[in-house]
Amino acid sequence: MSPTAARVYDEALLRLARAERTDHRVQLSRRLAPVEAGPVRTVTDLAYDLDPEIAAPVLRHSVLLRDEDLVAIAQTRSQGHLGALAERREVSEPVTDVVVIRGSWPVLRQLAANRTAHLSAQGLARLTVLSRGDGHITVALTKRSDVPAAVKGELLSQFKEMAVARRSSFCGEHSGVSLDAESSDAAPFATAQGNTDPLSAERLRAAGACVDAIAQSRPLTCAEVPHALARGELAEAIVMVARLAEQEPDTLVQALRGLSPVKNLALLAMRSADLSWAMAERILREVGSRADREGNLPALNEASQRGVCRSIEPSGAACSAGCPAACRLHDPGRRAICAGLRGQGGEPPPAIIDWMLWSPRFV
C-alpha cells in the first residue's frame, strides 16, 4: 500500500471508529495493538480515549505511539491509563518519570515489576524510597538489572525487617507512607515532575494534545470547559478556551495572570469562547488560588477590594452603572469597569471586577 493510500485508509478508519460503540472500540484497540505498521492516527486516537479499557491495549503494546503522546497521556489521564503505560515494553524514561510521580500504589508495583521499563536515576530513587512502605515494590526492585548491587542489599535487608515485623500487609496502601511528591521522604525526587506550575508551557503542550484529540472526535464547545475543571484539569480547560477564542494558550495564561499588554484580553477571550460570567469567574478563581499557593499575588482579591470600597463609598450606595445588589460597593474604577462590561452579555460578578482592578493592565 502506498503512503497516500495508507493515509486515506487511516483517515477512513479513524472516522468510522469514532462513531462506534465502546465495546467495538475496545475490540479495535485490541486488534490494532500488535500492528507494527498501520493507521497511526487511529491508534493515537484510541490511546487518548478517556476510557482506559479502550486505551489500554494500544498503550501497552502499540509501537506506533510517539513518546510525546505517551507523556501527554501520562500527565493527563487516569490511573488505568498509567497502569497500561507501566506495563509497556521498553517504555522510556520521560514516560516513567511521570508515571512514578502520578501513579498509585498498584501502578507503581506494575512499573517496578516491568524489567524492560527504563527508569531515570530520579525515578529509581523515588521508587526506592517508596519501597519502604511496599514489600512488592521492594522485591521487584531487587530483580531489576538497573538497580546497583549495594541498593539491592539494602532492599533485601529492608524486606527481611518487614517479614520479621510480621506486617499484616506488604501493600503501600496500608503503610502510612505518602505518595505525595512534596512529602519529606520523597521531596528530593520531586524534580522528576518537572515544572510544578500547573500552567507551565509543558503542561499547556500536554493539555493541547488532549484537547486536539477531543476536537478530532467531536466538535469542541464551551460545554467541555466545566468538565475539564471538574476533573481538576485547569490547563486543559484554559487550552479549550484558547482554542474556542482563537488565542494562543500561553497568551491567555499571561492575560489571566494580569500580565498581558492587551487590555481586557482574558475576559474578552472567555466571552469569545461563549463562557458564562459564572464560568469565567470560576476560571479566574482557579488561576488565583493556584497563584496564591505558589506565593504570588492571587488573581482575585475580593476581600481586600471590598475593604477599600467600604472606605470610599458607604454601604448600600447604589451603583450608577446599574449593577445588581451584590455588586453595590464600588469605587469609581469599579463603576467604569462595570458599565463597560454590561453590554458584553449579562452582569459580571463582583469577583470579575475585583480581578480587573487588581491587575495592573486593567486599570
* Tens-level pLDDT at each residue, the chain (363 residues): 788 888 899 999 999 999 999 999 999 999 999 999 989 999 999 999 999 999 999 999 999 999 989 998 998 899 999 999 999 999 999 999 999 999 999 999 999 999 999 999 889 989 998 998 888 999 999 999 999 888 888 888 888 887 776 554 567 777 778 787 544 344 444 343 444 677 888 788 888 888 887 787 678 899 889 888 877 788 999 999 999 999 999 999 988 887 877 767 888 888 888 888 778 888 888 887 665 544 444 444 444 333 333 333 333 444 443 444 334 334 444 444 455 544 444 555 555 555 554 444 443
Domain count, the chain: 1
Q: What is the pLDDT of residue 70?
A: 93
Residue 82 located in a structural domain: no
Residue 140 located in a structural domain: no
C-alpha atoms less than 13 angstroms from C-alpha of 262 in its C-beta half-sphere:
12
Residue 47 located in a structural domain: no
Q: How buried is residue 92: exposed, middle or buried, by Cβ count under 10 Å (0-12/13-18/19+)? A: middle
Look up the pTM and report it.
Answer: 0.56
Contact 240, 297 (CB under 8 A): no
Residue 273 located in a structural domain: yes
The parent domain of residue 261 ranges over 201-358
Distance from C-alpha of 36 to C-alpha of 59, rounded to nearest angstrom: 13
Instruction: Output the CA angle 54-55-59, nearest 5 degrees.
Output: 145
How many helices and strands (H and E) does the chain possess?
Answer: 20, 0
Residue 206 located in a structural domain: yes
Residue 246 located in a structural domain: yes
Q: What is the pLDDT of residue 300?
A: 41
Distance from C-alpha of 48 to C-alpha of 21, rounded to nearest angstrom: 16
Residues 6+ apart with CB under 8 A from 53: 22, 26, 80
Q: Among residues 298, 296, 300, 241, which one has the least CA distance to residue 272?
A: 241
Residue 300 located in a structural domain: yes
Contact 225, 242 (CB under 8 A): no
Residue 337 located in a structural domain: yes
Q: What is the pLDDT of residue 219?
A: 85
